[in-house]
Structure formats: C-alpha cells, structure tokens
Amino acid sequence: MVQKLANIPRLVISAPQGQSGKTTITIGLIGALVARGFYVQPFKKGPDFIDPSWLSLVAGRSCRNLDCFFMDNDTLVGSFVQAAAGAHVAVIEGAMGLYDGIDLYGSGSTAQIAKIVRAPVLLVVDCRRMTRSVAAIVRGFKDFDPDLNVAGVILNNVARSRHQKMLTMAIEEYCGLPVLGCIPKYSGLVIPNRHLGLIPAVENENLQAVIDSIVAVARENLDLDRIMYLARQAPSLMIPGNMNSDRLSKKECTTIGVIRDRSFTFYYPENLECLERAGAKLVYIDALEATTLPDLDGLFIGGGFPEIFASQLADNRLLRHSIAERIEQGLPVYAECGGLMYLGRSIIKEERSYPMVGVLPFDVTMEAKPQGHGYTLMQVVRQNPFFSVNTTVKGHEFHNSRIVNLDQTQVKFAFKVQRGHGIDGEWDGIIYKNLLASYNHIHALGVKGWAENFVAAATNYAQTKEVYGKKSRAVREVM
C-alpha cells in the first residue's frame, strides 16, 4: 500500500508552567493570522472544553482536542490531519507545563503531542521579575528532551524596552533560539475566569471585545512572518492507513436532539460527527428558550454550567416537563455532568434551590472546590443502551457540584469507578429506563461503539414509536 504524506504547517504553543499566558497568546496569534487572511485550524491538548470555545471563536473553525489518554498515535494523527485539511496552518495550544503528564515519564504531556505530530514548539515564558535567568529556563526546556523541537520563544509580561533587550540577548546568546514576540506587562489582557477556568466564549457576546483587544496586542507584538516560516518547517506527516475518508457516509436513519445553548456547551465536535456518521440527524435545542422537545428518537445532554443559568432553566417548566415525559416513555437519553445535574430534582446554589427535570432521585449542591477532576476509567457493570457490559470506558471529569439526598438502593449504576471520583468515589452512571447520566465525559475517538450504540437505541425506539402509533390509530378507527 502506498503511504500518503500530508504537508501541514503547524506549531505548538507551550510554556514552562500553567498560568504563563498560553491561552491569551494562542488566541492573539490565531486572530492575528486570521486577520492576515490565513485559515487557521486550532487544537487544544487535553480534554478541555473551555479553551477550545475561545479558539474556535477566534479562528472561525471548530477547535479539536488532541489527547494521548483517549487516542492512540494513529488515531491522534488521523484526527489532526482530517481537521487541518484546507487550513494554511495548525496551531496547537498545550496544557500545564510542556513536559507535564500523568506520570514520571510525561505520558500525555504537550511534549508527547508535539512529537507525535512532529510540530515545532514555541515556548511562552512569563518574565516577571526575571532577566538573565530566562536563558537557564529556556535552555533547560530546549535540552531536556533531544527528540523535541523547541524552536522559538515568546516573552510574556515584559516590563519595558530595557527588560526586553536583556531577555532577548540572554536567550539568543545562551540558547541559540529566536525570540518571536514580546507581550508588554501592562497590556491589560484579562480573560474572564470562573471556578472551572475561563468563561466559555459562547456564553457572553460581550467577550468579543476581549478577543479584539488580545488580537490587537498580538498583531503589534508578535513576529508573524517568522512564526509562519517556523510553522512551514514542520516535516510531512504520514497519513495513517485507517483514516476515515468518508466522514458522513451513512444515510440518516434516526433523529437525535442535542441540548446546546449557553448553559450546555461542552461537546467534542468528534462526538457529534460520530453520531452523524453512524446515521443520526442532529437537531439542536435551546433549553433556555424551547418550550417542548421536537419529535426525537434520542437526546444528548452534554456538560456545561447549568448552575449559572439555574434560574432560567427552572423557569422553563414546559421544557422540563416535556423532557421528563419523553424519558418516562422510553426515549434514549445520554447525559454528561451538566446534563446529569439538569436531570435531577434540583440544583442548590447559594442557599437557593432551583427545580430541574426531576426524573432522577437526587439534588445537586455547588461546592467551592472541585469534587472530581482528572482522567477516569469506568468498568461497565450493568446493561445499558450505550456501552457493553465488562468493557472499560475512558473519560474525564471536572466539576464543582456534588450529588446529595441520593438513596442508592433506589438507583442502578452502569459504572464501577476504577479511576476518578464519579458520583460517590465508587459508582457513576445512573440508569433509568433508556437513560444513562454520569459525571464522566467521553471522547468518541477513544470509546469505540458509543455512537453506533446510541444510534441503534434511537432507531429501536423510533420503530417502537411507529408500532405504538399504528396500534393507536387502529384503536381509534375501530372506535
């Protein structure tokens, strides 16, 4: 078989540690390149949902996640190549520090991602209260892994021209690397934060002004020509032989609703695409505005911040009752984290209780600190519409909510927690009729069969509805 090569200009934005300014600089760089007429495909290392919302908005293309815990190397490269098709350059934002992974050897780190896709790395260094020492940091990161191409530096929080000159000279003298940008210390770039990180970009239209400010600073202070030259030096990638070239080949056979609005924003593009490829027509629903569910064969409720919009969700009684009614009728429903919270009796926030859908027997209370955070492994122990028994489901969780008032004798769990916290440290995935709701988030590229099983359950439900409808019509005709 003839191996095909993909020539994709690309680079990784990383840093020695978190909170160094990676996201701000990545937003600025992408926006500045877009302003020059480039098509930029953004990527985010790791399972994050929030940073990708900002990168998607500024790029005008859906940001994709690259994650070694979810994906093997071929799957990761295949996803990268497919998403970057038609783009002039791919920009990957790292997470935490460049070499930080899930173990002593840096497994799953930004460095590992960069090596898998053979991308040069730009190191963002926060230079507050530092001059010549910057060279020791940069040289250490450059030399730590000889297989990694740390190819340039962007300086953040530079105080004044004298400070910039000293930093630049030290890096060029002792590290042999170019400085490709210097972001002033008092540039006034602040991205709004919340308990799980940044505020999702789609949540507030006023955040566009923040993006415009970041892009303006980047255009003035980044050397875009040299950065693009560096990206073009990335070698050709060998395209995996198992890449799916026919992305949406199956004929639509069923309709699955997706609740997607300001309160529910956490969806991987690949999860939605896998449902479409398996034969689903997706219908998007705004839980803040819609008063009833359309005619559906299945429903997907992702994560997000329902607690922020708890009052509005509670006020929409008609939709809550419509969802509860359909679930009682057997509608297949898959819900993750925020979706789990929405399906319970209530969300308790700041000593106030807001009624939710109410099909699951628990309440949710908000806490100041994360109650579950990190990658997960779930052993499937009970039959359900979405996962086969005795398989292991990889996922991740990140939530500040906690389930209370749950009588575990009244519920069935799909998952035994092998790694992570889940609902109570031992179990996750509440099953009710054809519904499965858990704190666990999955990525479809790392959980084979989920989309196909979801569509199969929806198709079966559609056939049941059709048979029931014919029987009802026959009874009416006899009467």
- What residues does each domain of the chain span? 5-238, 254-465
Give the CATH class of 254-465. Answer: alpha beta
Query: What are the residue numbers of the active site?
Result: 337
Find, among 278, 133, 261, 141, the residue nearest to 203 by Cα. Answer: 261
Burial 197-219 (b: 16+ CB within 10 A, else e): ebbbbbbeeebeebbeebbbbbb
Burial of 65 (0-12, 13-18, 19+ CB in 10 A): buried
* pLDDT of the chain, 479 residues: tens digit per residue: 445 788 999 999 999 998 899 999 999 999 999 999 999 999 999 999 989 999 999 999 999 999 999 999 999 999 999 999 999 999 999 999 999 999 999 999 999 999 999 999 999 999 999 999 999 999 999 999 999 999 999 999 999 899 999 999 999 999 999 999 999 986 666 665 544 445 565 555 667 788 899 999 999 999 999 999 999 999 999 888 766 544 444 566 899 999 999 999 999 999 999 999 999 999 999 999 999 999 999 999 999 999 999 999 999 999 999 999 999 999 999 999 999 999 999 999 998 999 999 999 999 999 989 899 999 999 999 999 999 999 999 999 999 999 999 988 889 999 999 999 999 999 999 999 999 999 999 999 999 999 999 999 999 999 987 655 444 443 334 33
412 within 8 A of 431, measured Cβ to Cβ? yes
Residue 210 Ramachandran class (φ > 0 left, ψ -120 to 50 alpha, else beta): alpha
- Whether 5-238 shares its CATH topology with 254-465 is answered yes
Tell me if residue 194 falls in helix, strand or coil: strand
Q: What residue type is assigned to position 198 of the chain? A: L
- Residues 241 and 260: their CA atoms lie apart, in Å, by 34
The CATH fold of domain 5-238: Rossmann fold (3.40.50)
Both tokens of residue 105? Answer: 């050897």
pTM of the model: 0.91
